Amino acid sequence: MDTSRGRDLAVNTAMALAALAVGLTSEQNVLYGSHDRPVALQVADIGLGVACVAGIWIWRRSHPVVFAVVAIAVGVVSTVAGGVGLICAFTVAEHRSWRTAVGISMLAAVSVVPALALYPVPHEDRSIFIGTLATFAVTGWGMFVRARRQLLDSMRRRLREAEQAATERAAAARRAERQRIAREMHDVLAHRLSLLAVHAGALEFHHGATAEEVTATAGIIRSNTHEALNELREVIDLLRESTPDAQRPQPTLADLPSLLAESTSAGLDVSCEISPQALEHVGSDPASTGRTIYRVVQEALTNVRKHAPQAHVRVEVHDVGDGVDVSIRNQPSPAVPVPAAPPGSGTGLAGLRERVALAGGRVDFQPTDDHGFRVHAWMPYAAQGQA
């Protein structure tokens, strides 16, 4: 037998004993009351009383209202069952609405009158008062138990909901942090490693390179390797939380010329036009607008080096009143032998779309009519979020 069933059995037993005690101590009790009652009535009194007391184990919880009505009716003719009505009034108040509980209590209180008419006792007014008071007292007790249980259930439910919400918030925070770290890893390494792949491929394909050219290319590879290691170290510091993100150097629109110079040194044909108004607004601003524009151009150039390394690329950054319009467009790459494109994660553009959306802007990618490709973004001057 489990704990709940054992507890229910103990409670039912205690209530049955209490009801039997009330019935046996009543002034109307058939066992020591008036002896002029018919034997059949005495037998019916005892039989019905025992049946009602037994019903406490069977029907009190499963059919509280029906059992209460029957027990109250039986209590009119059975002195032994007189206490069962109190138990039923308490049970209904504990498990049903207050309207039902009050109705059952009123029925139990009214039933005292015909019971006294059938089995008269001295001091009837006092008996009616005591019976009515006892009935509404146990009803109030049952309502209190019900309200307390509902309060505890509500508190437990709210606690579970709060724990679930906290778990979901923690999981969402972990996902957001992983996505942010993934964007940082992609931003700082994909560009640098694609440059390494381009320069290494140039050595592989340029068989007639002079010693000076090989040395210069090797120096560029070494320099970019050092830069990649430094940037990787910054990301690792971020993962270890040893360097606050606000203190980490962040690229801005003013750093765009150096980015274009790196791409040009890798053999990419790049032309750029930056309007003075846009540069004035976000040129050296480390907030999300300037940083996100830099990342948009960086990701676009990285993809051009992977997929169209011989194509001409046009970068345009213009002021459009309420923000900055960014366009990176490349022509189709000539069909000439080139080194194999380095493998990519396939998440660069998706991550870029997330970054731009977080900064309050929008971005789209589409092929052009001349079989090239264009990345177009708009960023607000007053950033609406943080990347």
Question: Which residue would you say has higher pLDDT here, 224 or 342?
Answer: 224
pLDDT at 355: 80
Question: Which residue would you say has higher pLDDT here, 136 or 359?
Answer: 136
* Distance in angstroms between the alpha carbons of the first and the last residue of the chain: 59
64: nearest Cα among 93, 107, 21: 93
pTM of the model: 0.48
pLDDT at 349: 74
Strands of the sheet with 323-330, listed across from one edge:
269-274, 312-319, 323-330, 373-380, 362-367
Give helix 64-77 / helix 84-95 axis angle, nearest 10°.
160
- CA gap 307, 292 in Å, rounded: 22
pLDDT at 166: 92
If you write DSSP's letter for every residue of 101-128 in order, what string do you get?
HHHHHHHHHHTHHHHHHHS--SSHHHHH
pLDDT higher than threshold 70 for residue 341? no
pLDDT at 119: 78
Rounded to an integer, the average pLDDT of 144-167 is: 92
- CA gap 342, 148 in Å, rounded: 67
Confidence band for 205, pLDDT divided at 50, 70 and 90 = low
Provide the mean pLDDT of the chain: 80
Break the chain down into helix, strand, coil percent, rounded to 5.
Answer: 65, 10, 25
In one letter, which amino acid is 40? A
Domain ranges for the chain, please list them: 3-122, 165-380
In one letter, which amino acid is 12? N
**Side-chain half-sphere of 318: how many Cα atoms within 13 Å?**
8
In three-state secondary structure terms, 221 is: helix
Residues in the chain, total: 387
Confidence band for 152, pLDDT divided at 50, 70 and 90 = very high
Range from 61-70, 266-275, 330-339, 365-374 carrying the lowest mean pLDDT? 330-339
The pLDDT tens digits of the residues spanning 62-115 come to: 888 998 899 888 888 888 888 888 888 899 998 888 899 999 999 988 888 888
CB atoms within 10 A of CB 364: 11
Distances (CA, A) of 180 to 166, 185, 187, 235, 319: 21, 9, 10, 11, 28
Rounded to an integer, the average pLDDT of 286-306 is: 81
Range from 86-90, 172-176, 203-207 carrying the lowest mean pLDDT? 203-207
80 φ/ψ angles, rounded to the nearest 5 degrees: -65, -30
pLDDT at 313: 92
Confidence band for 317, pLDDT divided at 50, 70 and 90 = very high
Question: Which residue would you say has higher pLDDT here, 143 or 247?
Answer: 143
Rounded to an integer, the average pLDDT of 229-244 is: 65
Which homologous superfamily does the CATH classification assign to the domain defined by 165-380? Histidine kinase-like ATPase, C-terminal domain (3.30.565.10)
In three-state secondary structure terms, 374 is: strand
- CA gap 327, 315 in Å, rounded: 6
Rounded to an integer, the average pLDDT of 132-155 is: 91
Rounded to an integer, the average pLDDT of 321-326 is: 87
Question: Which residue would you say has higher pLDDT here, 344 or 105?
Answer: 105
The pLDDT tens digits of the residues spanning 25-40 come to: 776 676 655 556 677 7
pLDDT at 289: 82
pLDDT higher than threshold 50 for residue 243? no
